Structure 1
Amino acid sequence: MSVFNKIKWILGILSVFFIILATNLIDRKNFIIVKNSVETIYADRLLAQDILLDLSGLTWEKELAQIKYDRSQFDNKNITINTRFEELINLFSATKLTAKEEVILGQLKKNFENLKAFERTDIQLPNQKFSDQLTLIKDNLEDLSEIQIEEGKRELFESQRAIASVDLFTHLEIYALILIAIVIQIVVMYNPTPEQE
């Protein structure tokens, strides 16, 4: 094999290597995006939605306790509910929050503290102020729940876009490899004949 043919082979193999390497790096980036999206949907959206559901249940228990008001039972049950409510708020705070979520979570904490302060007073239930405070808390929980859906959709869109990009590059890789194989075959098979005089 002549030096010229060896150089052609080396260049052909190197070009295939670099194309495969470049597309692999792009694919790796897209797979990382998909992985992060899936983890975010689970850790920061589904778990957060579950926490919000539990908080809504506790709010409903407070509302029910107000309707069936008995001061001693209300106080005992309320201590347990408030402790669990605070635990769940802290769990929710530990998830990855958007700026909008942080604002609403701040409002939720403030409204919950106002409700607890109101509960410590000698109130007669059912009471409109108590009901109004519960309504504010329920509104905060509903707003946070809507954000979970919006953010989940956004993460899903990001992962779908990354998957589409991986699919596109996979097809491009195949076409590029076929084209390179054809070019290598032409280069290797091409054997210039000396001109005859």
Structure 2
Amino acid sequence: MTDHANLRIQAFVEITPGQICQVWNDTPYGVLNIYYITNMKWAYSIQNKLAASATLFVLCLLVLFSNYQDQKHTDNVKNSISTLYADRLVVEDYILKITIDIYEIKQILSASGGSPENIANQIEASLQHIEGLTTAYQKTKLTKAEDEKFTLLLKTLTEFESSDESISRLSLANKALVLLNELSTIQLEESKLIMRQAENLYKSGKVASQFAFALTIIILLILQALVFTSKTLKTSANASTTNLN
């Protein structure tokens, strides 16, 4: 009897009063069974809370990472579009205007009649316009091949200005037109490359978003499973307590 009383007192200390009242008329083994079930439920509840907290933390990190990736892809696409406009479309406009000026110079040189002073003034005006365009061209981002062709164009224009012979000037004008055509081809090729890069960025961003969405669904399912398991264990523990009663 003394051992049983001591055991019941120990159970009262370690179990809630409600639980000890339910088993006060049972055997000491019944008390120990309830104590074991209660402790197991507490331990599993703590594990569930830790798992849920870790899962929510991972979910928050995933959302932040997904937002960062989306912003990064958006910035890259914006940069590609900006490069396409500023370094390709605008440059193509420069090339077109320089080409028009060169053709006008050729017409002036090929035309018969007119005072030499008037011809010189017209050519000088066209050259000044070309100089302004080439200065603006130099401020854009040039590829290696483009820089080489552009350097040759500047050299050709310098030779044109220093030449006094009409035949030599016509030859240099034709050379400049060839270089301008090559520069225009480079703009087209670079524009295609930029468009492919922008398309790849869009595709990679789309895949990353889909992956993040799928991972979010999986994490939410894990959370739901943890909640369901916790409820199942609680029901099982309550049923065990009822059976002991």
TM-score of the two chains, using structure 1 as the length reference: 0.89
Q: CA deviation at 1:113?
A: 0.7
Q: Deviations over 1:74-109 (max 9, x none)?
A: 111111111111111111011011111111111001
How far does residue 27 in structure 1 lie from its aligned partner after superposition?
2.0
- Residues 1:36 and 2:75 are matched in the alignment: no
Matched residue, 2:202? 163
1:15 aligns with 2:58: yes
Shift of 1:25: 2.1
- The AA in structure 1 aligned to 2:54 is L
Counterpart in the other structure of 1:81:
126
Unpaired runs of 5+ residues, structure 2, are 1-41, 241-245
Structure 1 residue 8: Cα displacement: 2.9
- Counterpart position of 2:27: none
Higher relative contact order (Cα pairs below 8 Å, separated by 6+ residues) = 1
* Corresponding residue for residue 221 of structure 2: 182
Greater than 6 Å deviation, 4+ residue runs: none
Partner of 2:8: none
Q: Distance in 2 between matches of 1:186 and 1:57?
A: 72
| Residue-by-residue CA offset, 1:167-187 (whole Å, 9 max, x unaligned) | 111111221111111111001
Q: Supply the AA of the counterpart residue of 1:90.
A: T
| Residue 63 of structure 2 corresponds to residue 63 of structure 1 | no
Q: Distance between the aligned counterparts of 1:134 and 1:76, measured in 2?
A: 17
1:26 aligns to 2:69 (yes or no): yes
Matches within 5 A, 1:20-169: 20-69=63-112, 70=114, 71-118=116-163, 121=164, 123=165, 125=166, 127=167, 129-169=168-208
Distance between the aligned counterparts of 2:47 and 2:65, measured in 1?
A: 27
TM-score by length of 2: 0.73
Task: Give the drift of 1:164.
Answer: 0.6
Number of residue pairs the alignment of both structures matches: 191
Q: Calculate percent identity across the aligned residue pairs.
A: 23
Give distance in 2, aligned partners of 1:89 and 1:3. Answer: 73
Q: 1:157 and 1:6 mapped to 2: Cα distance?
A: 48
Task: For residue 141 of structure 2, give the secondary structure of its aligned residue in structure 1.
Answer: coil
Partners of 1:5 and 1:182 lie apart in 2 by: 14
**Are the aligned partners of 1:33 and 1:162 in contact in 2 as well (CA < 8 Å)?**
yes
Looking at structure 2, the residues matched to 33 and 170 of structure 1 have their Cα atoms a distance apart, in angstroms, of 16
Distance 2:127 2:191 in 1: 29
> Structure 2: how far apart are the matches of 1:76 and 1:52?
23
Distance 2:105 2:118 in 1: 12
Shift of 1:9: 2.6
1-side partners of 2:172 and 2:151: how far apart? 15
Whichever residue aligns with residue 206 of structure 2, its letter is: D
- Partner of 2:142, secondary structure, is coil
